[in-house]
Amino acid sequence: MKLVVVSAGLSVPSSTRLLGDRLAAATAGRVSGEVDLRVVELRDLAVEIAHNFTNGFPGRALSAAIDDVTSADGLIVVTPVFSASYSGLFKSFFDVLDKDALAGRPVLIAATGGTGRHSLVLEHALRPLFAYLRAVVVPTGVYAASEDWGAEGLAERIERAAGELAALMPAGTPAPMPSSASAGSEAVVPAQPAPGRADGFHVVPFEEQLAALRA
């Protein structure tokens, strides 16, 4: 089972890499069997990515990174937010991939930023990008602002997103049943609407409503 993290963090240490590591650990815990975890640090590939645009050929390190990404059973992509969107380095890496390279591949999108105001970057930038590449993007994206580290909520989002990614990978653990449904419990049959009611709401004939207005 091959799980690949693509991190576009620029600093060392990097909150972007930290978020990628936490997502990877949570996902690996949901997958049965051995997990081959690879991390692609884009800052180490910046020069080769630029050269690929000018000469059309990937260098050795970039070629190895592309091979890892395109052969992954599951992909976690994490970018810092620059100018209310993904970083240029992040976008450039995915621009050098073949347009069909990620088709059908499970992808978990994540981002980091200095403020929670940029959280919608997941929906207006990352999700459309990977939808265009025809990847299968998990429903839950994870955004971590500076104030989120150590605060309530981030760990839960990480676990939920990791579970969704693992469920799409081979040998992934199925998503848990809702807490209200326990093993061996009897099926609950919805009550039928009472006469004179539709979908549980009382229906007042139009004539009665009109008569009430005239009264």
Alpha-carbon span 92 to 100, nearest angstrom: 16
- CA geometry: angle 51, 53, 59, nearest 5 deg: 40
Mean pLDDT to the nearest integer, 82-92: 95
Mean pLDDT to the nearest integer, 109-130: 94
Q: Which tokens belong to 165? A: 């990614």
pTM (two decimals): 0.78
116: confidence class by pLDDT, cuts 50, 70, 90: confident
Q: Which tokens belong to 123? A: 């929906």
Mean pLDDT for all residues in the chain: 85
Answer yes or no: is pLDDT of 37 > 80.
yes
Alpha-carbon span 96 to 110, nearest angstrom: 20
